[in-house]
Amino acid sequence: MTLTHDPNLTRQIIGLAMRVHTRLGPGMLESVYEHCLCHEFEVNDLPYARQVEIPLAYDGIRLPCGYRADIVVGGTVLLEIKSVEHILPVHEAQLLTYLRLSGCRIGLLMNFFSTSLKEGIRRRVC
């Protein structure tokens, strides 16, 4: 099932993430940014789910691999929250894998460790 994505939703998510980053700055744990971002989604009436299980099926069986998306907004945008010195290729590969397995088309990899969150965001379409 593929859901239609609203481009304004992505802009709104990024704007709220920038608000969180401006208020907290870099250097916090990923879970802190996740909690605060979810608070912003609630205040702004954006439907979201946290720690969304991403199933993996192989050869007709469901494997309990424990993959979880940090946040899925509006059922269409998958967010992977990081607080690391540098985004590595493995982080981008993780986002693409989660997109492929989840059925979401839009993914945002957000590195809150960046001095400027704008420089720490990677948008991917699958």
User: Which 3-state string (H, E, C) describes 44-63?
Assistant: CCCCEEEEEECCEEECCEEE
- What is the residue extent of each domain of the chain? 7-125
Q: Distance between CA 40 and CA 21 in Å, rounded?
A: 12
The confidence score (pLDDT) of residue 2 equals: 43
**Are the C-beta atoms of residues 69 and 80 closer than 8 Å to each other?**
yes
Q: Which two tokens stand for residue 48?
A: 């979201």
pTM: 0.91
pLDDT tens digits, 56-105: 989 989 888 889 999 999 999 999 999 999 999 999 999 999 999 999 99
pLDDT tens digits, 42-56: 999 999 999 999 989
- Given a cut of 70, whether residue 120 has pLDDT beyond it is yes
Beta bridge partners of 68: 53
Question: What is the three-class DSSP state of 81?
Answer: strand
